Amino acid sequence: MNNANLLGPWIRRFLLEHVQERNLARNTQQSYRDTLVQLVPFVVQKIRRPVERLEVTDVTPEIVRLFLVDIETTRGCVPATRNQRLATIHALARHIGLNSPEHIEWCGQIRSIPFKRVARPLVSYLEKPEMEGLLKAPDRRTKQGQRDYALLLFLYNTGARADEAAHVRVADVNLGRVPERDFSSVLIRGKGNKKRLCPLWSHTALTLVSLINDRAQSEHVFLNRRGRPITRFGIHEMIERYVKSLRENMPSLTTKRVSPHTIRHTSATHLLRAGVDINTIRGWLGHVSLATTNIYAEIDLEMKAEALRHCEVKDPKPRKPPKHWKEDAEIMAFLRRL
């Protein structure tokens, strides 16, 4: 059997050359891996052939379509997840097609499988009182509460993703000599290891001073209760816990699913309301495309209402009909004096 036709070596090349050499984000690498871990056994089951003998063309368009249906029906995944899995298969087919001319036709057939149309969900964010309530939730008299407060404040200040905040190290934080006066910033590593500098409020800087004082430069800023680096899942769990405790006294939170990304949306929306231009917000959040940032200009109902008030057509006061000359007291008095 021709080794160029075997699927296994191509998957290996794809993961080593396409994924690692392009320095894709960890989450993207894990997504590619998860897709292939699900796809390969599915193909083996359908064609009844040992995994080591699978050929590239065994992954037919019909099997891929059945795999995508299985993801939604058997696994109960949403269409967005189905599209994510298909994107990996498209990337694998493209990699093989670029490096193996005899598989160009197969590549075109696989890449012609369309993505499912998915309605873009409304972006959720917190109003100012809700965000302030969340920041007040941790008990700052305890060490754990101080860490939680610092993490919530950091997320709100920077608009960082959960994974980005989890990987910030002490060396990434540049605190001013006098935080209340001097400029402070943090280096954030985003998707694809893209780096961006984000300014820190003086209050955030002062809060981080007490958190990272006398810590090694190589250590992570935010640690869990066991002194290990907190994970993005730990950040999700922390936020959900505080939001749950707030819902009784803040009914507006009962209709919102609050996550670290909600705080990211909140940061962008509040920056927009404060008059920060959209291009600055794009750099602040680490968006590659300005179109991604423009969603915040679309969702802010408060700014829409304010704009509406400025251009609203006022209903003119109705003019009183002029009085008949016989009803005008001054004119009648004048006429009687003649």
Residue whose C-alpha is closest to residue 282's, from 155, 273, 272, 50: 272
- Domain boundaries defined on the chain: 3-111, 128-305
pLDDT tens for each residue of 64-112: 999 999 999 998 898 989 999 999 999 999 999 999 999 999 999 999 9
Judge if 3-111 and 128-305 fold alike in CATH terms: no
5 exposure class (CB count in 10 Å sphere: 0-12, 13-18, 19+): middle
pLDDT of residue 24: 73
CA distance 311 to 260: 36
Domain 3-111 class in CATH = mainly alpha
Whether 180 and 132 have beta carbons less than 8 Å apart is answered as no
Q: Is 261 a catalytic residue?
A: yes
Higher pLDDT, residue 132 or 24 = 132
Q: Is 156 a catalytic residue?
A: no
DSSP E strands, 133-284: 173-174, 184-189, 195-200
**Catalytic site residue from 196, 264, 270, 282:** 264
**Catalytic site residue from 32, 125, 156, 296:** 296
Q: Is 125 a catalytic residue?
A: no
Q: Is 194 a catalytic residue?
A: no
Higher pLDDT, residue 313 or 40 = 40
CA distance 216 to 241: 30
pLDDT of residue 46: 93
Among the listed ranges 41-45, 235-239, 301-305, which one has the minimum average pLDDT value?
301-305
CATH no., domain 128-305: 1.10.443.10
* Amino acid at residue number 181: R
Q: What are phi and psi of 114, to 5 degrees?
A: -80, 155
**Catalytic site residue from 191, 232, 256, 273:** 191
CB atoms within 10 A of CB 221: 24
Q: Following CA atoms 56, 57, 59, 64 in sequence, which dihedral angle do they give, to the nearest 10 degrees? A: 130
CA distance 245 to 248: 7
Per-residue pLDDT averaged across 137-160, rounded? 94
Among the listed ranges 134-143, 217-226, 258-267, 299-308, which one has the minimum average pLDDT value?
299-308
pLDDT for 158 beyond 70: yes
* Amino acid at residue number 290: L
In Å, how far are 10, 57, 139 from 97, measured between CA atoms? 11, 12, 57
pLDDT tens for each residue of 268-306: 888 888 888 777 888 788 876 655 666 665 555 555 455
End-to-end Cα, the chain, rounded Å: 126
Q: Is 149 a catalytic residue?
A: no
pLDDT of residue 311: 45
pLDDT tens for each residue of 168-187: 999 999 998 887 778 899 99
**Catalytic site residue from 95, 169, 265, 287:** 287
Question: What SS3 class is residue 196?
Answer: strand
**Catalytic site residue from 95, 196, 261, 270:** 261
CB-based contacts of 56: which residues, under 8 Å, 6+ apart? 5, 6, 7, 10, 96, 100, 103, 106
Q: Is 191 a catalytic residue?
A: yes
Higher pLDDT, residue 291 or 60 = 60
**Catalytic site residue from 82, 161, 220, 282:** 161
Question: What SS3 class is residue 169?
Answer: strand
Its pTM stands at 0.66
